[in-house]
Homo-oligomer: A and B are copies of this chain.
Amino acid sequence: MKHYSSIHDIENINSWIEEAKTIKANPLKHAHLGKHKTIGLLFFNSSLRTRLSTQKAALNLGMNPIVMNVSGDAWGIEFENGTIMNGNTAEHIKEAAAVVSQYCDIIAVRAFPTLTDKVKDESEYVMNSFMQYASVPIVNMESATGHPLQGLTDAITISENTKKIKPKVVLSWAPHVKALPHAVANSFVQAMQKMDVEFVITNPEGYNLNPQITGNTPIISNQNDAFKNADFVYAKNWSSYQEYGQILNTDPNWMITKTKLGNAKFMHCLPVRRNLVVEDAVLDSKNALVIEQANNRTYAAQLVLKKILEKL
């Protein structure tokens, strides 16, 4: 692994999970590994958990984090090749990525999709341009189609909290008022496909995720059927993939309730809108793992950074 751009960069998810647990048990064991090394965190979009947990992970490894809100702190970046740059963009990604590589030993990037241009989003032009033009490793802090630090976190959290060898895990679509990306859902699907779990997805008509990602994973349109005997329910809203970026359904019956959940553990990447995606009774119960997921973000990031640092 040079870059960490998607769940596919995880060679062996079980050994990664075990290593992450070791790090969590002793987070300062490698406090000198990153000494005098700098990580640049470039945010094209807002961030709370990723911003804090990636900094925390870097600090646990002795690294110096440098944070930049690209649009607010600098200027528009051009990703197209060959254009005459007489418009709103002031610097080409060829220079920007190469330049940041002069100052940072690792570059982490967050860049959301347009949700209007499917082809452009699926090209992952931001993440891929950084990987192409930077001379240092790139970490995906959520891109157009994936959020692999979150997916790894979720795999760790399920492994920590399961009482069964092969638990049943359900990814459920839930309602929302805004058109949201597919990144978290995609990476969760990819992570579950690598684990020894019984995994199903449930979503309304028109909300199937990219079939190239879901592959053989069963998609069940009846949420109640999908939740039967579930050990973990992972809730997430996403906009339609087929009718790209559209909101086709806001049916509150898809909200996760305590009654639906039963004894299953509840997971969500956060931020979550209460009483829209999931009711208070779920989040305020012991079945909610969301804060522990947030905690595990640190150790997922720390594992990824450790693996990259060891190869520098």
Contact = CB atoms under 8 A, between A and B. Distances in A.
Interface of A: 28, 31, 36, 38, 40, 43, 46-49, 51-53, 55-56, 59-60, 64, 66, 68-69, 72-75, 78, 81-87, 89-92, 94-96, 98-100, 102-104, 177, 270-276, 280, 283-284, 290-291, 294-295, 297-298
Nearest to A82: B280
A48 B36 contact: no
Contact of A283 (B64, B84, B95, B99): B95
A93 to B, nearest CB: 10
How many copies the complex holds: the figure is 3
B38 A59 contact: yes
A102 B291 contact: yes
A272 B270 CA distance: 39
A99 B270 contact: yes
Given A59-B64, A72-B72, 7 more contacts: A48-B99, A52-B99, A56-B66, A84-B276, A87-B177, A91-B273, A92-B272
Contact of A98 (B56, B60, B177, B291): B291
A134 to B, nearest CB: 11
A273 B76 CA distance: 11
Contact of A51 (B68, B92, B94, B295): B68
Nearest to A291: B98
Contacts of A290: 95
Nearest to A255: B84
Nearest to A95: B270
Contact of A96 (B48, B60, B68): B48
B274 A53 contact: no
Contact of A52 (B48, B104, B272): B104
Contacts of A177: 86-87
